[in-house]
Structure 1
Amino acid sequence: MAERLFGEDGETIVSDWFSSEVSRIDDPAFAKLFTDHINLPGVPAADYSHRYVRSDAVELIGGIRFYAHDISRPFVEVVAHSFADKSPMREGLEILRDCVRSEWSLFAPLDLRLRVLSGTINHPAARTAVTIHAARPRDMAPPDGRVRLVPFADPEDAIALVQDRYADVAAHAAELAKNISAADPDDLRAWHQAGQLHAIIAEGPANAESAPVGLLAIAPGRVAWIKGDEVNEEVVMSARGGRGYAASAQAAWAMTIGSNRDQVIVGTIDRLNQASRRSAERAGRPAILEEVFVSLR
Structure 2
Amino acid sequence: MDTPNPIRNVSDTALWVAIYRAMETERPDALFRDPYARRLGGERGQAIVDAIPDGAQTSWPLVVRTSVMDDIVHRCVQSGAKTVLNLAAGLDARPYRLDLPRDLRWLHVDMPEMVDYFRTGMAGETPKCRLEFIAADLREADQRREVFAKAAEEGPVLAITEGLLIYLEAEDVAALARDLHDIAQAKWWLADLATPRLLKLLEKRWSPTLKGGNAPFRFGPAESTAWFAPYGWRELQFHSTWTDAMRLNRKPRGAALWNFLLKISPRKQREEQLRMSGIALMERT
TM-score of the superposition, structure 1-length normalised? 0.31
Give 1 or 2: higher helix fraction.
Answer: 2
Give 1 or 2: higher strand fraction.
Answer: 1
Structure number with greater CO (CA < 8 Å, separation at least 6) is 1
TM-score of the superposition, structure 2-length normalised? 0.32
Bigger-Rg structure (1/2): 1
